[in-house]
Amino acid sequence: MIVRMFAGLVAAFLMCSAVHAQQSAPGSRLDDIVKRGTLRVGMTGDYKPFTSLDKTTQKFTGFDVDMAEALGKALGVKVEYVQTAWPKLMKDFEADQFDIAMGGVSITFDRQKKGLFSTPIMREGKTPIARCADVGKYQTLADIDKKGTRVIVNPGGTNERFARANIKDAEINVFPDNTVIFDEIAKGNADLMMTDASETRFQQKQHPGVLCAVHPDKPFDFSEKAYWLQRDVALKAFVDQWLHVSMEDGSFGKIYAAWFD
């Protein structure tokens, strides 16, 4: 009799504890986004074709803008864009200025420490872009890392990090405006830039016959692009499933073709 009473008390205690834990557990960020009715997306606006900000209209356009709108539709919420910049992307992320960072964001261990990454959306790697007449001069890092070579980089992101890790003798010049940085190469103010292969292909199209991507199919390193999420497993699960469906039903491919093909 005593044993049965004790067992009953234990069962009641465990049930009460489970109910209390369920009631006191904080809601997920996914729940907050749906309840709020908006998805806050951090973007730099200076990385075509992923994201571009029109300073006159303050409107974002680009591949990841279209993807953000598709994600908002899947969530049933509006998309609110929050402008950030590569040098302060980490700081803004940690300050919870946005729920997700999009716009050509590369996966890094430092970023992984602070949040979660979605399923990768693109395989990447750093490769040079130079004036077409100079492509043969910059095939390897050894070719580039010579005194007299002028390497241009945008500040605060993986491009600058890669250049400083691999360039010791060549000159590294930091240029603040990533929207016109490739014009500096075209004008002869710099010799090359090492950036993601997808960007070199895009900029080659924007400067036909002037700038050429250097072996974009064989970049110097390996990296992937993904969406950087605040640390919430429910939100990551939703975004991963949305990406999976998008890639399977062709909607991802249509958006990709509109910007990269």
Q: Are 44 and 106 in contact (CB under 8 A)?
A: no
Contacts of 173 (CB under 8 A, 6+ apart): 150, 151, 152, 153, 190
Residues 76-88 as b/e (b if ≥16 CB within 10 A, e otherwise) read: ebebebebbbbee
In terms of pLDDT, which residue wins out, 159 or 26?
A: 159
Q: Are 163 and 153 in contact (CB under 8 A)?
A: yes
pLDDT in tens, 179-234: 999 999 999 999 999 999 999 999 999 999 999 999 999 999 999 999 999 999 99
Pair of tokens at residue 200: 């070199």
CA distance 237 to 96: 19
pLDDT in tens, 8-33: 544 444 455 444 444 444 689 999 99
DSSP code of residue 28:
P
- At 15 the pLDDT is 53
Contacts of 63 (CB under 8 A, 6+ apart): 49, 50, 51, 255, 256, 258, 259, 260
Beta carbons within 10 angstroms of residue 159's beta carbon: 23
* Amino acid, res. 78: K
pLDDT in tens, 68-103: 999 999 999 999 999 999 999 999 999 999 999 999
